[in-house]
Amino acid sequence: MAGKPGEVIMTITKSISIRPMTFEDIDQVMHVELSSFENPWTREAFENEVKNNRFATYLIAEEGDKIIGYCGVWVIIDEAHITNIAILPDYRGNKIGEKLLKKAKLFAAMKRAKSISLEVRVSNHIAQNLYRKLGFREGGIRKRYYTDNHEDAIVMWVTL
């Protein structure tokens, strides 16, 4: 799949690639979002991220023309923040989330970020293990962070 001139597209396998999200991708990203979260972001939230948030970049993983995952990252001055990451249920366990997160880390470093933070549910041990594998360490707790059930979030950081 061709990208913008000078843009690097990382191929995971012969059929899965990662590229920046466009406005036209939002319908499929919403499918991933609705398949992944009990309290999903709205379409309007994604539209705002793509159209209006100059700090936001979203990466998508796709197989052919099918979007199977995405990862959002904000880079503000020298700090980056992972806003969300999701993979379609049928594609989980294939290291696609890991590849997306590695690409997000690379993107943040290219934008001169010195660190990346994220929040993760205290109950989401699979995600925590992935983040630790990629160098993230616990930095604190956000009490009652998640609005659906008021679960705490672990704040994790990695220095780039």
Catalytic residues: 119, 131
Q: Is residue 23 part of a domain?
A: yes
Share of the chain above pLDDT 90, in %: 86
Sorting pLDDT into bands at 50, 70 and 90, what band is 28?
A: very high
Q: What is the mean pLDDT of the chain?
A: 92
Q: Is residue 59 part of a domain?
A: yes
Round to whole Å and give the CA distance between 37 and 158.
Answer: 25
Q: 52: helix, coil or strand?
A: coil
Q: Is residue 144 part of a domain?
A: no
Q: Is residue 145 part of a domain?
A: no
Q: Is residue 96 part of a domain?
A: yes
Q: Which residues pair with 11 in a beta bridge?
A: 17
User: What is residue 147's predicted lDDT score, i.e. its pLDDT?
Assistant: 87
Q: Is residue 15 part of a domain?
A: yes
- For the chain, the 3-state helix, strand and coil shares in percent, each to the nearest 5, are 30, 35, 35
Number of domains in the chain: 1
* Range from 36-40, 57-61, 149-153 that averages highest in pLDDT: 57-61
Closest CA to 23 of 47, 55, 56, 57: 47
pLDDT in tens, 102-148: 999 999 999 999 999 999 999 999 999 999 999 999 999 999 999 88
For the chain, where are the alpha helices, taking DSSP H only?
26-36, 43-51, 96-110, 125-133
| Contacts of the segment 79-82: beta carbons below 8 A, 24+ positions apart | 79/113, 79/114, 79/115, 79/116, 79/117, 80/104, 80/108, 80/111, 80/113, 80/115, 80/116, 80/117, 80/160, 81/116, 81/117, 81/118, 82/116, 82/117, 82/118
Question: Which residues constitute the domain of residue 59?
Answer: 10-114
Q: Is the pLDDT of residue 69 over 50?
A: yes
Q: State the CATH number of the domain containing residue 79.
A: 3.40.630.30
pTM (predicted TM-score): 0.87
Q: Is residue 47 part of a domain?
A: yes
Q: Is the pLDDT of residue 84 over 60?
A: yes
Burial pattern 44-65, b for ≥16 Cβ within 10 A else e, equals ebbeebbeeeeebbbbbbbbee
The answer to whether the beta carbons of residues 118 and 156 sit under 8 Å apart is: yes
